[in-house]
Structure formats: structure tokens, C-alpha cells
Structure 1
Amino acid sequence: MRIFLAILLTLITVNIFAMTVKSINYDGMVHISKPVALRMLDFDVGDTIDDKILNESIKKYFKQGYFDDVWAEFDDGNLTYLFKEKAIISKIELKGWKENDKDVLSTVVQIKKGSLYDKNKLLSAKKRIQEAIAQDGKIDSVVEIEEETLDNGSIKVTFIANEGEEIVIEKLDYIGVFGLDTDIFNDVIANKEHQFMGWFWGRNDGEMKLSDLGYDPLRIRDTYMQYGYLDAKVDVPFVRVNFDHYTADMSYQIEEGEIYYISGISINQVSNVIDEAKIREIISLEEGEAFNIKTFRDDAQKIKTIIADLSYAFVQVVPDLKKNKKDHTVEVVFKITPGDKVKIRNVVISGNNRTLDRIIRRELYLGPGDMYSLTDLKDSRNSLGRLGFFDGNTIEEKRIDNSNMDLIVKVKEAPTGNVQLGGGYGSYGGLLVTVAVNDRNIWGSGINMGVKAEQSERTKNYSFNISNPRLNDSDFNGNFSIFKSFSEYNDYSVDSQGVSIGTGHRFSRHISGYLGYSFSENAYSDVNESSTVADTRYFESYAKSSILINTKFDNTDDYYLPREGYTVSQGFEKSGLGGNADFFKSRTNFAKYIGLEDYIGFDAIFRYKARFYFAADTGYLPIADKFYMGGIGSVRGYESYSISPVETDSDGNIIRVGGRQTFSNNAELSFPLVPKAKMRLVTYLDWGFIGDDSLNEFSRGGYGVGLEWFSPVGPIQLMFSKPLNEQAGDKTTSFEFTMGQRF
């Protein structure tokens, strides 16, 4: 009887929880659509379910992570799932540390607006903020989380950071150093001893950088290996912190060992793909010299390049050192595994929302079907950089198999055009209105076009220019420009107009040539004959008809901000093919760019620029066509075109008449100032010479600091200068600016 009752109760219980589903409904569900939610169930309308199946379905919905609670209700076969959604984080703020740094929100906080509230994620973000502050060398930092429920039900999260104190390294000792000068370690380590006036540029502030403590010993050891100390050992630094004053003493225990000299250089090719003699020609290490790890790495890279240029894209150069500790010599071994030759299967371009694909492809030296070349790959990157159309570019190598790869070209578009609508008022010229439109990559076609109109009560200037660097995607280029201007001065007026046209050809990757023609007319009128400067020589109307020839070499890696390479150009102008002017001009320009990041650890750039111009009077050289110095491009600190040989009229007035030869050069050092805003600081020293018969007739210089800014409307330079060798009568200036020029 008892067994029968137990069976009966069991059947009744199963019958209670076994229900037929007539309908399935959802209440409070936002993040999942009803069709998706239905597909997640293991049953459908008309099926019979029990409590186990129902509980499993509730758990499945809850695991999606969108809900704080999920439950179900059954009413006469109608199944309804009810959801309590998690709150949405609608605002995220960071106070007390890098408050306006959007990158920190994405890289450190890692919580986006619109994400679901999750307490564990907030705690993880808090920990990351604390760790990031600690990496800056600050200890005892505290981060608090404030949560505020807004009227719409969403949550505002605020991370409040109270930065701790910075630890300053007061003393840094090196124990066991005999063979090297410890001063050279300061060039490579991040944690340095505090120096007097450490806040001043170029001095060490002594702030401890915790993230670099583990790497500094490796940097010191690498320095030793550049001088042949292959057995050098550098222990992690011993740090003694005074928490009362937040200062620290550090010391390194170093065992130098002996200097190793190169006993031999071996080249081991797994398969012989290149003459060994060609490899030895590019190796800088020499037998008998002290070993240098930096030269060793450079040689390995050069070997890799020369073989990769033979289409062995996956070549491996494994350097090895066979040390003889008895006589302290080392045999250098380069083991070369070339692999198979590799062909380019496809080239994929991305990121060019504006620039046409063909504009990018024509700058690439590798295309589908071509054999791989590492030099071609690098030259392609540099060629894209010289366009000036992109903020940056990368070319990724995607391996398909041992003998095929795809190239993925990724570019980031940069603003290439600007519209200027401006005006002003001057006591001399009155109201000035300017309208200008210019684009170096109009409609993404690679064509440069600009138009400008400027008018005031005394001046009118109109100009139009258009140029195509690759006519019909060929190696030929073409340009056309026209201008007209009128200026009214107190004692005379000048009306000028002109036109120029030309074509060029790119002979190689870095060498191009140009042939052009220009014609201009310059007419003086309303000359005040009673003026003290009314010497007829200075107001003779003339026409100029000139042939222009130019050649240029350019292997830099970027148009606006190159970090490597140099440019050399030589131009000639012959006037006298019609018109009144008859002269010959030569213009020589040189620029060298060196990125210093590998040497000093941050993105500094050294630039040297020089120019030599010469003019010969073969009939008539107008004063307006002679050379003048001053301003950005020659000697800063002096007004533009103000440095020149002079003449004095009968009333003692000084008149600048220009020179027939000039040489100027500039040395510049550019530093990152606000990288995220694309601002850089530049310091410079200029010096120039000018004269008629000799360059020594006039000599002026200038120095100063400036701001280089890639603004939304184009690159801008703001220069603050001081003149050098200033003489009586010189026209100096302390501020200049320019827009759109190469830095």
C-alpha cells in the first residue's frame, strides 16, 4: 500500500510540473530580440515542459550577461519570461589624473559609454588606473569609484584618482665599473640621478620610472656589449626608498669581464642563394677589432635585406657567437636560412576613404605577380609618405604559403585642403578681404589646385594654379599657374601679371626633372617724380620670358615631417627669350633629415638645410629679380627680403638693391611637444651671406624657437626669433609664421 501511494504521489507531481506551452511571451527584454530569444529555447509552442527544462531556459538567458534577474510565470499554458535589465553606463569621467586624455579612457579604463553596468569591470578598471599611475613613478596613489543613477535610469561612473608622491632618485651608484665611463649609461637608462636644476630642459629630474627598472640593467649590459664586454653582468638595481621624503638611492652591481676581439667571421648558408663575397662586402665588423653588438645587429639586418631583395621574403638570419674565454676572442657566425622565393599574390588597400586606389597603387613598387623585394617594400612606404596625403601608412605582409604572400596597405587620410575666409584692417591698406581655396589632393585624384583672391583699398591679388604629379598615371607631370596683382604705394604703383607652364618626368624612384616656361610683365605707374627715391633705375617697366630647368633627388620618408633621407635640387633659369630681362640664374638646394629616436629614446629630428643661388647679368637683370635674404626659408630674425646690398641716394636714403649671389644654411632640432595634438617644438640657428661680387659683403644670422603644428587647416609654423650680427638700418622681426610648408 505504501509503495502504491508513493508511485501515485510521484505521478501527481510529474503531472503538476509537466505543462503544455500555448504561448511564449517576454516582458522587460531589450538587449535580445524576440526571434533570437525564441531560437535559444529547446522547446516550442505546443511542447510539454517540466520545471527542469524551464530552469535551464532561465539560466541560458541569464548567462547572456544582460540581466540582473530573470524569472518565468505560467498562467493557463501561457509562458512569460520576465527580465530585469542591467543598467547602462551613460557617462564615464576620470578626475585627478589625465582628466582630458581620451586615449586613457580607451587604453586604461577600457569601459565604453553604453556598456552594461558590471561591478567587477569597474574594479578591474580601478586596478588598471592604479597600475598606470604607479608606472609614472608615483606611490601611495588612491583611486575611488563614484556611481550616480541618473533620471533616465542610466549610471554615471566617476573614477577619482588621488595621485601619490613621485620618488626622486637622489643618488645613483655603479659598483664594479672600471673599463667604461659611467656617464655613457645616462644616454640609455630611464632612471637617472637627479641633477641640480633638474626641471630645466636637458637636465635630469631624477623621477623614478618603475616600468623601466627591469629594463635598465639590460640597457647597461647592451652598452657594455657595444664595447666588446661579452661577459658583462648587471644585476637588478638595489633601491633604498626614504618614504618620509619620497627620495631613493639606487646602486648597480656590475661585473665587467674582459673585452672580446673578433677572431673570425663565418657565413653559413643553408642553401647557397648569393655569392658569399657580396655578403662580406656589406659586413662592417672586422677581424681583430673589439666586438660591437650594435654593429653585429646592423650587419644581420643588412644581410637579411640583401637576400630578401632576391625575393626570399621569409629569410632568417640567425647570428651566433662562439666565444673563446681563454684568449677572449669571439667568432661571429651568421647562419642564413633563405627559404623559398616569394611572389606577391595580391595587394589590398584600406583606409583610403578619399584618395582613389589608383593614386596609391601607382606609388607602390610591388604589385600582384611581382617577386618580393624588401627594398621595394620600404621604398613604397616612403613614396606614400612623400605624397603628403596621409597621416601615416603601413604595409603588412600576409603570408599565404611558403611561396606566396599578400600585401595589406593601410593608410590614414590627412587633411590636404583648406579654405580661407579672412579679413582685416590696416592703417595703410584699409579693409582687407581674402578668399582662398587650396587642395593638394582634390577629390582624391592626386591633383593639386588652388585659387586665391585678395583685395584691399590699395592692393588686388588674384592667382590660380593647378598641377598633376602623374599625368594619366604616367611618370610625367604637368603644371599651370597664372597671377595678376596691383599694389598702390605712396610714391608709385606696380601692376604685375604672369603665367607659367611646364612638364616634368620621374627618371627613377628618387630622381625627377622639370622643364618649364614663364612669362611676366611688371609695369610701374603714378611715379612721384619729386620723391627722393624716384631714381628711374628702380621704376623701369619690364617683361620677363624665361626657360626653367630643374633636377631633383628626394629619398625622404614623408612630405611634411621627414625623419630620414635627404633632398638635393639644381635649377637653372635663362631669361631673354623675348621680353626685356636678360639674365641667367642657378639655384642649388640641399636638405638632410635624421631621426634621433634610436639614439636618444624619443622622437627628435635633426635637420640641416642649405641653399646657394647665383645670378649672371647677360643683358638686363632687374632689381626685382635679384636675390634677397630674410624670413622663413633663409635667415629668421630679419624681415623677409630685407637683407641685401644697399645703395644710398643723394638725400641719404638707403635703398636695398639685391645681390647676385647668396648662401644661407639652417640647423634645426625638432622635439615632440604635444604628440596627440600633433605639436612639436623646434630650435634653430640660421646664418646667411649675400653680395654682388662676393658672399662676404653682407652676413647675418638668427636663432630662436618655434612651434610646428599639424592643425586641422594644414601645417603651421610659428617662429620666435632673435637676430645675430645686427647692424644699423637692418629690419628685424621677432615673430613670423607660415602655413602649408614642409618642415
Structure 2
Amino acid sequence: MKRLAAAMLLAGISHTLHAEEPFTVQDIQVEGLQRVALGAALNNLPFSVGDSVTDFTLSRSIKSLFAAGHFDDIRVYRDGQTVIFRLKERPTINAIEFDGNKDLKDEQLSESLTAQRIEVGEPLDRTLLRSIENGLTEFYHGVGKYQAEVEVELVYLPRNRVNVKLKFDEGDAASVRQINIVGNEVFDNETLLSVMESQQDMPWWRFMSSDRYQKQTLQGDFESIQSYYLDRGYLRFAIESSQVSVSPDKTSVYVTMNVDEGEQYKVTGVRYAGDLIGQDALIERLTPIQPGELYNGALVTFTEENIARILARFGYANSKVTTIPDIDDENREVELTINVDPGKRIYVRRIDIAGNANTKDEVFRRELRQLEGGWLSNDALELSKQRLQRLPYVEQVEFETRDVPGIEDQVDISFNVREQPSGSFNAGVSYGNFQGLSFQIGVEQANFLGSGNSAGVNLNTNKYQKTISFSYTDPYFTLDGVSLGGQIFYSATDYSSLGSNLEAYKQKRYGIGGTMGIPINETNRLNFGATISVSDLSLLQDYDQLRHFKNVLLDGNDPDGRLKYINYELTAGWVQSTLNRGLFPTAGHYFGLNTRISTPNSDLKFFKTNFEARKYIPLTRNHAWSLMGKVELGYGNGYGSRNGYDYTLPFNENFTAGGYNMRGFEHRIIGPRAVFRIPASIPGLPDPIAGGNSPLPGDPLTDRYSVSQRSIGGNAMAVATLELITPTPFLGEDNRNSVRTSVFVDAGNVWDTEFDFDRYAGLTQQRQFQREPTLVDYSDPTLIRVSTGVSVQWISPMGPLTFSLAKIVKKYEGDLQENFSFNIGTTF
């Protein structure tokens, strides 16, 4: 046996020595190539013709070819001094298909496969297919679908091609049948379960809730419970273990967690360590943690974030703030040490603006509050973003901070701006019994030639009115943001052809005005203006509310003459805006107060005040759902007197409602009607020349009156809107800033504080037409109208378009309904 073993050992050594004997390669032959070029294959070999190789070198060549990723099978042979490689190429992926996937979108799957180099045109590596199946199955298990199966199917095609098809059988998600919490004594199960997002065994009628099991959701619930205890002083609280059991049929899971509540701890003091950059007093004043109070984890986190924000305001953008608790378990007390490491102050080297295809770079740069060369301030960056988004020609703004290579304390900032149509092509066509065929056309450019200046030409014409105006405003007439603008306007109104018993008159009005705005701070602005206007009235119908207006203008020598007057008007206004966007805001508020008054040397002396307030409250973190509340108030009146008559608000300055500000009601239908007094008369004496009898005035107590169908407006107005802004169905995230859908409720009224209802007590109303409304007290502000509906607004290339479908909830006699309305150039 010993001799035999020795003989075998010598034979093995002899064979090894023979196999390792080198030989010189005279030729290399490669067989089986189809797609891969011969040169590419030879480049992966560790030897070439003329080299001396061994069997070990040949084995290394197999590994090198496999590493290239082009081949499924590699065999090497030696024929004398010739080395022969027989290769089988990997098939090329011709197409990738997905079937049955719902939780995972095709785009997500494609991105995941591309990251693993499984894409059309690439060779297929079969070794990755099993890991893909396992990875996708694990994903479905993580979202509670334990019955899910994923199978990769290969369909081989001619010319060594293959179609890869991923077939999904997702199955139903497992529901959380029961959640057991063990070890809790301070808070009962019901309290702790209310903190969790995961719900257990939901009854069928709670269809808005879900008891679907998801691994990530459960992990978040564990953190929520821990935060719940930490926020109430239980500093030593811990979840000692957790188990998730799946039912045999894989349709239900049972969750068990074991907790150790511990005891409550009180804070004995707060100390600061590190570098507070000289802001010790500010940081201490803004720290909400007080000695003697229970430990509160949320307050500790808030304090750390607050200190980091303060440091970032002064250029320390990479600060680290940590809280170290010194726990006294015996007395159940804790002392907190807040360690502050501000790091290096960061400066801004360069600010780039991208995406502005139409707007000049300087228009955006003048809105920036973060300056090049200054230290980096998060507050200044956010304010800069907000100011850019408030521009009416900007849809969205994002910024990115990039480190400067090789320099630790400098960064570059890029603002990426997405512009939206800055022009507004105002056009509309409508028809109504009152106004007939009506259309308007105009062009307003909020970003004229990319300069940031606004310019506009507006033309509005219908059956009874024609107006035209030209306006121009430079919002940065000076470098510090003082704006300057001007307007020229002309209008011609003819109500004289609209039939009897309506507030008929003809008017021509033209004028010129200028405005100036002065910024007070980032959110407040004062506006001032002056206007000269000339009005020429004729054929003014004599309804009762006009008696004061006419008597202060009439020429006693020509009572039937034209009424022409010149007004010199001054305006003053205040605007405060914290809105996050110029169009379609979702957060912040807007307050606007404006007063216009004619000067004492004007022919008419009056004032008119408007106030508007809007508040947007985001209901979700991404602002897809928001609540908007809006209030519009207006009041105007005359001051002084002439010829024994007090000045009143001119009738053509009256507030109106219905249409755009009270959707669901017909345009200008809400508010006081014109009252036409019909004097009583008695037969007179016979006329010996003309014949007949000329009537004589009768007893005023027997006068009659009639009421117009449409409103003439009033000197006071109040309109309120409550609007729920919702995601627009069938539209993606990219269109959220250009299309808005909302559900609204409008309520309001227009009234006349000077109307004397008692003046018509005892008189008889004589109806001139069938739909004439009954006279009511037009000085009553409580005659509130209400409507509700749905609105869709779209910032189109022509400008903002608003479509509203509304229904009247509360109305009064004579109010006319307009279920569908369409406006151009109006947004909320």
C-alpha cells in the first residue's frame, strides 16, 4: 500500500509539472462571435500572439472574458501552439414588458432595471434575474402583499435576441387583524393606537380608513409611540421588542410590541456649550425649555432646529446642534447640555439663474435678497424664492446650493425658474337679455419684452358700453423698488336704448392718471396716485335716487341740459402680502386697502374706499389641498353740499355684485334697484287754444312708483368667499401651478346707506312689466345672497381663464341665476 501511494504521488507531481509547462502562442482563434467584434474580444485577453502562456494563464483569460459581460459560456482549447476560444454570446435585450403590476408603476420598474444595466440594447445577464425576482417579492412583502409572486419570462428571438417579461401576481394586501401592546400601564391601548397610522380590523363602514399592513408605516408608528412618551417626560421609554406574525393564508398579520414605559423625568437646567457666535442672549431667549418642567422630546428637537436656523441666518449653514442629557435616575431628573458647533461661515461666490427664456436676468436678480459675496443665509434664500414666486410671470422657483470645489467656505447657488405666460389676452363673448351680445378684447403684458414692466391695451364693447384704456407700469423705477405708472382711458356708455323703466343715460368719460408705489419692507407697500377725469352725461333718466346727484350739478337756467363735470382725484393705498406665489397662491395672506377721494376743487366731492383680505391655509404638506378665505368690503359717499343738497357718491361709481364676485348670479344683478316715482295728477282746465285738458299735479301722497329689473348698485358692499382648493382630477403634479380646481361658497350684498324706505310708505307700486320686483329696504345690509359651486382656473397662453358652475343657495325677488360663467383675466 505504501508503494502504491508513493507511485500515485509521483505520477501526480509529474502530471502537474507537465501541465504547467509554458508554450508560445502562434495563433488565437475565436469562434461563436455574432454581435461582439473580434477586436473587442481579443482586448479582454491577458496575452497575445507570441506570448508564452501556461494553463493558469488560459484560466485567467476565461475570467477576463466573463468580466466583460458579453458571454454566457466560454470554453478554451489548445491545438498545438494555437489557442481556440469557443464563445456563446449573451442574448441582446430586444424589449422589456411588465404585466400585472399596479403598486409599482412601469416608470419605477424601468428605472430600477436600468440601474442594474438591464435595458433594451444591452446583453442579458441571467444571474441578475433571480435577484430581481427576490427583490421585487421583498418589496411586496414590505407593503403587506405576502401572496405576491414575481416571475421573469424570457422569449428568445432570432439573431440571439430576447424579450424580457416581468409577470406580476400582486394579490391582496394583508390586513392588520390585531395590534397588541404589552407593558403599557400609564397610557391604555386605545390612546396609543390613536397615535398610530396603522389601524387594526377596520369595520366595513369605515371605508375612508385602511387597515392594510405596511412595514414602513409600522416602523413610523413605533417612532410615533416613542415620541409620544418622550414628549411627556418618559425619558427611559423603550420598545424592547416587536413581532409581526402572518396568518397561514397570508391575508392577515398580528403585531405585538413590548414596551418599557419607565418614569417621568423633570428638567433641572439647560446649559450651552460650544460657540454661540456671540448670539448667546438671542439663543437663550428663544429656547422654550424651562427648568422644573417635564422633559419634552419635541421641545428639545425644536430647540436644536431653532438654534440651527439662527446660525444659518448668520452664514453658518452647516452647523451641528446636539443635546446631551445628564440623567439622574435616582431623583428622576435630567440636565440638558446643548452643544453648538457652528462650523465655518459659508459665503456665496456666485448666483446663477436658469430657465428664464423670456425674462431678462436683471429682472429676477433685483428680487433676490441673497447677495453674491455675502454670507449664506437660509432666511435670505427663502425670501428670495418667495419674492420670485410672487411675480405674476413665474410659475415655480427652486434653488440649489453647490459646494465650490477645493474651497470649504464658499458655495454657488442656482435658482431654477419656470416661467408661465406673462401676457394676458383678454377676450370673451357672451349674450344676455340685458346686455345683448357682448365681447371684450385686450392685451396685458405683465412682463413686457422681458423687462418686468407691465403694459396693457384693453377694449371692451357690448350693446351699451365701449371702453378703451392704455396703461404702463415700471415696478422698479428706482433701484430701491419705487414703482411708477400711468393710464389713459376713454369710455362711452349708452343705456338710453335699453327700454323703459331702466336706469337710462348716456355718458362719455375720459382722463389720465399716474401711480407711484413705495416699498416699506418686504411685505408692506404704500401706493399713491392722481387722476384727472372728464365726464359728460346726457339723457339721464330721472329715477328717484338721482335727485341729490342731479341737483348739485344742474344749471337752473337749463334744467334739461347736459351734465358735464371735471374731477381731480387722489388715491392712497396700503398692501401687505405674504403670499407664496403671485398666481394661484396656496399659503400666506394678502391685505389691500385703497381710498380714492376727489379734491375740494372738483365738480363732485366724494370718497370711495375698498378693502380686500385673503388668507390661504395649506391643509397638506405639499399644498395640494388648501383653504382660502376672502373678504371684500367697500364704502363710498359724498362730502359737503351745494345748492342745499348734500353730495353723494356718483351713481356711476356705485359698487355692484353678481358675476365674477358672486358666481351663480347674473352680472350686476345684486343690490338696490332704481325707483321711478310716478306723480299723481288731476284733470286741469280746458285749453281754449289747443283743446283738451292739461293735467295738474295731484296729492303727493297718492303718487305711485315702479322698480327697475336690474340693480343700479349701491354705496356699500360686502362679499365673502370660502374656497376649498383641491387637486385637479386627471392632471399630474407638473400642472398643479397652472390649473386649479376649487369648491366655493360666495355670500354677500350691495346696499345703499342713503336710501330712505319710509319715503315710499303708503304709496302704491305700479308694475310696468311682469318681472318687476317688489320694493324692499335697499339700505338693509342683511339681505345676504349665497351661492355655491365648482370653479376651474387655468393659466393659459391667453391669460388666466376661469370656468365656474354655480347654483344659488339664497336669493331675493328679482335676482337672476347664471349657472355657468366664463371669465378671462380673473383669478382668486
Aligned twin of 1:6: none
Counterpart among 545, 555, 559 of residue 578 in structure 2: 555
1:83-102 superposed matches below 5 A:
87=92, 89=94, 96-97=101-102, 102=107
Aligned twin of 1:729: 814
Q: Give the stretch that moved more between structures: 254-263 or 48-57.
A: 48-57
State the Cα distance separating 1:18 from its structure 2 match.
3.1
The code of the aligned residue for 2:288 comes to S
State the Cα distance separating 1:216 from its structure 2 match.
0.8
Aligned twin of 2:351: 347
The reply to whether residue 330 of structure 1 matches residue 351 of structure 2 is no
Counterpart among 607, 613, 618 of residue 584 in structure 1: 607
Q: Give the stretch that moved more between structures: 405-414 or 248-257.
A: 248-257
Distance 2:34 2:273 in 1: 69
The reply to whether residue 476 of structure 1 matches residue 476 of structure 2 is no
Distance 1:71 1:352 in 2: 59
Distance 2:125 2:509 in 1: 71
Aligned twin of 1:4: none
1:383-422 superposed matches below 5 A:
383-388=387-392, 389-396=394-401, 398=403, 404-417=409-422
Greater gyration radius: 2
User: Residue 421 of structure 2 contacts residue 796 of structure 2 at CA under 8 Å; is this kept in 1?
Assistant: no
Sort the Cα spacing of 1:64 and 1:497 in 2 relative to 1 into closer, same or farther, 3 A.
farther
Distance 1:371 1:226 in 2: 36
1:271-282 superposed matches below 5 A:
271=275, 273-274=277-278, 276-282=280-286
User: Residue 415 of structure 1 contacts residue 713 of structure 1 at CA under 8 Å; is this kept in 2?
Assistant: no
The reply to whether residue 376 of structure 1 matches residue 380 of structure 2 is yes
Give 3-state SS (helix, strand or coil) of 1:303's partner. helix
Counterpart among 226, 232, 242 of residue 227 in structure 1: 232
Distance 2:290 2:171 in 1: 52
Sort the Cα spacing of 1:478 and 1:82 in 2 relative to 1 into closer, same or farther, 3 A.
farther
Q: Give the stretch that moved more between structures: 82-91 or 186-195.
A: 82-91
State the Cα distance separating 1:541 from its structure 2 match.
7.9
State the Cα distance separating 1:721 from its structure 2 match.
4.7
State the Cα distance separating 1:642 from its structure 2 match.
3.9
Counterpart among 117, 126, 142 of residue 149 in structure 2: 142
Counterpart among 512, 516, 521 of residue 525 in structure 2: 512
Aligned twin of 1:605: 626
Aligned twin of 1:24: none
Distance 1:322 1:677 in 2: 49
Give 3-state SS (helix, strand or coil) of 2:92's partner. coil
Aligned twin of 2:211: 206
State the Cα distance separating 1:138 from its structure 2 match.
3.3
1:13-66: CA deviation from partner (whole Å, max 9, x where unpaired)? 967x43699xxxxx9769x999x999999999xx96788999999987875546
The reply to whether residue 310 of structure 1 matches residue 314 of structure 2 is yes
Aligned twin of 1:566: 589
Sort the Cα spacing of 1:670 and 1:530 in 2 relative to 1 into closer, same or farther, 3 A.
closer
The reply to whether residue 662 of structure 1 matches residue 685 of structure 2 is no
1:300-349: CA deviation from partner (whole Å, max 9, x where unpaired)? 22222233333333332212333333443333332222334443333344
The code of the aligned residue for 1:229 comes to Y
1:43-442 superposed matches below 5 A:
63-65=67-69, 87=92, 89=94, 96-97=101-102, 102=107, 105-106=110-111, 117-119=124-126, 130=137, 133-134=140-141, 136-145=143-152, 158-169=165-176, 172=179, 179=186, 189-193=196-200, 203-234=208-239, 239=244, 246-248=251-253, 250=255, 252-264=257-269, 266-271=270-275, 273-274=277-278, 276-388=280-392, 389-396=394-401, 398=403, 404-417=409-422, 426=431, 440-441=446-447
Distance 1:70 1:390 in 2: 58
Distance 2:582 2:594 in 1: 20
Sort the Cα spacing of 1:55 and 1:119 in 2 relative to 1 into closer, same or farther, 3 A.
closer
Sort the Cα spacing of 1:65 and 1:286 in 2 relative to 1 into closer, same or farther, 3 A.
same
User: Residue 689 of structure 1 contacts residue 696 of structure 1 at CA under 8 Å; is this kept in 2?
Assistant: yes
Give 3-state SS (helix, strand or coil) of 1:387's partner. coil
Structure 2 unaligned spans of 5+: 1-17, 77-81, 499-503, 551-561, 640-646, 677-704, 754-778
Aligned twin of 1:18: 26
Distance 2:525 2:87 in 1: 73
User: Residue 426 of structure 2 contacts residue 798 of structure 2 at CA under 8 Å; is this kept in 1?
Assistant: no
1:469-495: CA deviation from partner (whole Å, max 9, x where unpaired)? 334765233445556667777616777
State the Cα distance separating 1:218 from its structure 2 match.
0.5
Distance 2:400 2:223 in 1: 31
Give 3-state SS (helix, strand or coil) of 1:302's partner. helix
Sort the Cα spacing of 1:272 and 1:39 in 2 relative to 1 into closer, same or farther, 3 A.
same
Distance 2:544 2:155 in 1: 79
State the Cα distance separating 1:719 from its structure 2 match.
4.9
State the Cα distance separating 1:439 from its structure 2 match.
5.1
State the Cα distance separating 1:214 from its structure 2 match.
1.4
1:168-204: CA deviation from partner (whole Å, max 9, x where unpaired)? 445556555565586776775331246556666xx42
State the Cα distance separating 1:506 from its structure 2 match.
2.7
Q: Give the stretch that moved more between structures: 266-275 or 668-677.
A: 668-677
Distance 2:277 2:223 in 1: 36
Distance 1:507 1:626 in 2: 32
Sort the Cα spacing of 1:188 and 1:586 in 2 relative to 1 into closer, same or farther, 3 A.
farther
User: Residue 560 of structure 1 contacts residue 741 of structure 1 at CA under 8 Å; is this kept in 2?
Assistant: no
Q: Give the stretch that moved more between structures: 173-182 or 50-59.
A: 50-59
TM-score using structure 2 length: 0.69
1:522-561: CA deviation from partner (whole Å, max 9, x where unpaired)? 7778x79799999998997877653332222223333335
Sort the Cα spacing of 1:421 and 1:257 in 2 relative to 1 into closer, same or farther, 3 A.
same
Counterpart among 629, 638, 644 of residue 671 in structure 2: 644
The code of the aligned residue for 2:293 comes to E
Counterpart among 708, 712, 716 of residue 653 in structure 1: 708
Q: Give the stretch that moved more between structures: 148-157 or 678-687.
A: 148-157
Give 3-state SS (helix, strand or coil) of 2:386's partner. helix
More strand by share: 1
User: Residue 89 of structure 1 contacts residue 117 of structure 1 at CA under 8 Å; is this kept in 2?
Assistant: no
Counterpart among 768, 779, 783 of residue 698 in structure 1: 783
State the Cα distance separating 1:268 from its structure 2 match.
1.6
Distance 2:423 2:721 in 1: 29
The reply to whether residue 626 of structure 1 matches residue 654 of structure 2 is yes
Sort the Cα spacing of 1:236 and 1:439 in 2 relative to 1 into closer, same or farther, 3 A.
farther
The code of the aligned residue for 2:655 comes to F
Using CA pairs under 8 Å that are at least 6 residues apart, name the structure with larger relative contact order, 1 or 2.
2
The code of the aligned residue for 2:671 comes to S
The code of the aligned residue for 1:659 comes to G
User: Residue 343 of structure 1 contacts residue 405 of structure 1 at CA under 8 Å; is this kept in 2?
Assistant: yes
Give 3-state SS (helix, strand or coil) of 2:219's partner. coil
Aligned twin of 1:616: 637
